[in-house]
């Protein structure tokens, strides 16, 4: 969304835990909406499990790198 609007996010804040929770869908484990109730332990914000958090960190890093490469090419 930010890229489409031509803006750059100032940061990313996500909740995560090292526990094997199923509070957010997606990721390599392919957590679905049907899986959410299996290990949904939070009483507040849903958290990414460790695998989801690590996967997302790599995706964000790849996206940031691609942006830097594109800026360098345009300069």
Whole-angstrom distance, CA of residue 49 vs CA of residue 57: 12
Residue 64 covered by a domain:
yes
Q: What is the C-alpha end-to-end distance of the chain, expressed in Å?
A: 24
Chain mean position to CA 75: 30
pTM of the full structure: 0.74
- Print the domain residue range for 30: 18-74
Best CA proximity match to 49, nearest among 14, 9, 20: 20
5 burial via Cβ count (<10 Å: 0-12, 13-18, 19+): exposed
d(CA 61, CA 20): 23
Token readout for 55 is 């996967």
**1 domain residue, yes or no:** no
User: If the chain, 75 residues long, is cut into consecutive pieces of 10 residues, what is the mean pLDDT of each piece?
Assistant: 80 89 88 87 88 93 84 78
Residue 67 lies in a domain: yes
> Residue 6: inside a domain, yes or no?
no
pLDDT, residue 48, reads 94
Q: How many domains, the chain?
A: 1
């Amino acid at each position: 969304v930010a890229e489409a609007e031509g803006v750059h996010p100032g940061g990313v804040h996500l909740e995560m835990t090292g526990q094997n929770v199923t509070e957010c869908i997606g990721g390599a484990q392919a957590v679905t909406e049907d899986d959410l109730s299996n290990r949904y332990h939070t009483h507040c914000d849903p958290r990414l499990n460790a695998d989801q958090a690590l996967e997302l960190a790599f995706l964000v890093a790849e996206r940031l790198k691609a942006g830097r490469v594109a800026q360098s090419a345009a300069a």
